[in-house]
């Protein structure tokens, strides 16, 4: 299928996901895919999942908020995407590789919101006040593009490589945690891979969310009370294959461990 408009982009990305195959960049076929149009593709793709598969929207994800992720992907602008109920993986569950193309795992700071946040002009202090609890998280990303090779409009259209995520059971009030200093160590099959602190997320994850909420306002969107927010990979993502275990130890949010099926 040659992709040249919003409906064909949506169908192509949905087909890749359901058939577990990747494709080339959409921007190579459709040079007119600019950022606003890419967000339209993202929203139509999410709408199709809700309508056809009975899925529901449960939150917002920030992407490319850390320098480690931006460097790896060669893109310096953060983005937003939509979290769906079908992406939830319960803590302790095996990662179902038979549903995925090329999964990678990244540690994240996750917020459960207790107040609505609507831009413009939202500040980091307002974000902190709106957070109900902070949790450790793993996002499992799975690009529908060959080898995660994409330009910003491609990855925005693909709902920012969303696939699955795990939220740790321990929830800490925002007032009881130093988000900037929160430290994580990631290991794969017992070997150290990466470490970072919350400062990796645009200097402060609350600031990252304030910027995202103000950008969402330009598209008429906001974050509702009760929604989840993934604030973006703190480190580069780690590929996960059959039988691999990825573990994260956070300084005050506890530990997470994710093992893939064989």
What binding mask, one character per residue, do residues 135-164 give for Mg ion by CB under 5 A, x or -? ----x-------------------------
Please say which residue, 6 or 205, places its beta carbon nearer to Mg ion: 205
Q: How far is CA 254 from the centre of its chain?
A: 20
Q: Which of 182, 187, 190, 189 is nearest to 234 (CA)?
A: 182
CB of 251 closer than 8 Å to CB of 155: no
Site for ligand 0L1 in 16-35 (CB under 6 A): none
Alpha-carbon distance 70 to 63, whole Å?
9
- Under rule CB under 6 A, residue 102 binds ligand 0L1: no
- Strand-pair partners of 141: 104, 162
Burial (0-12, 13-18, 19+ Cβ within 10 Å), 32: exposed
Stretch that binds Mg ion, among 47-55, 84-92, 134-142, 194-202 (CB under 5 A): 134-142
Q: How far is CA 147 from the centre of its chain?
A: 17
Site for ligand 0L1 in 48-77 (CB under 6 A): 63-65, 69, 73
Question: In the complex, what is the shortest distance from the CB of residue 175 to ligand 0L1, in angstroms, rounded to a whole number?
Answer: 25
Alpha-carbon distance 130 to 122, whole Å?
11
- Under rule CB under 6 A, residue 160 binds ligand 0L1: yes
Q: How many residues does the chain have?
A: 262
- Under rule CB under 6 A, residue 145 binds ligand 0L1: no
Q: Which residue is nearest to Mg ion (CB)?
A: 139
Residue 148 contacts which entry, ligand 0L1, Mg ion, none (Cβ below 5-8 A, type-dependent): ligand 0L1
Selected binder of ligand 0L1 within 3, 10, 101, 155 (CB under 6 A): 155
SS3 state of residue 242: coil
How do 228-230 and 57-63 pair as beta strands?
Answer: parallel
Residue 247 contacts which entry, ligand 0L1, Mg ion, none (Cβ below 5-8 A, type-dependent): none
Contacting positions for ligand 0L1 (CB under 6 A): 63-65, 69, 73, 106, 139, 141, 143, 148, 155, 160-161, 232-233, 237
What residues line the site for Mg ion (CB under 5 A)? 139, 233
């Amino acid at each position: 299928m040659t992709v040249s408009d919003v409906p064909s982009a949506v169908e192509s990305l949905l087909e890749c996901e359901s058939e577990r195959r990747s494709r080339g960049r959409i921007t190579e076929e459709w040079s007119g895919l600019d950022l606003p149009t890419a967000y339209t593709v993202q929203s139509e793709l999410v709408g199709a999942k809700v309508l056809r598969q009975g899925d529901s929207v449960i939150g917002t994800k920030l992407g490319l908020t850390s320098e480690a992720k931006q460097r790896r992907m060669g893109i310096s602008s953060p983005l937003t995407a939509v979290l769906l109920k079908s992406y939830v993986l319960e803590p302790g569950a095996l990662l179902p590789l038979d549903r995925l193309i090329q999964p990678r795992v990244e540690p994240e700071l996750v917020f459960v919101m207790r107040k609505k946040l609507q831009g413009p002009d939202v500040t980091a202090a307002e974000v902190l006040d709106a957070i109900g609890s902070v949790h450790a998280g793993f996002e499992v990303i799975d690009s529908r593009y060959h080898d995660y090779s994409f330009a910003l409009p491609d990855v925005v259209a693909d709902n920012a490589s969303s696939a699955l995520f795990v939220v740790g059971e321990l929830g800490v009030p925002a007032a009881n945690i130093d988000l900037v200093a929160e430290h994580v160590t990631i290991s794969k099959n017992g070997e150290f891979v990466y470490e970072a602190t919350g400062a990796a997320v645009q200097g402060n994850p609350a600031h990252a969310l304030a910027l995202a909420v103000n950008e969402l306002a330009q598209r008429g969107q906001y974050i509702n009370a009760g929604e989840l927010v993934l604030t973006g990979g703190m480190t580069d993502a780690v590929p996960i294959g059959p039988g691999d275990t990825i573990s994260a130890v956070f300084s005050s949010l506890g530990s997470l461990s994710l093992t893939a099926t064989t």
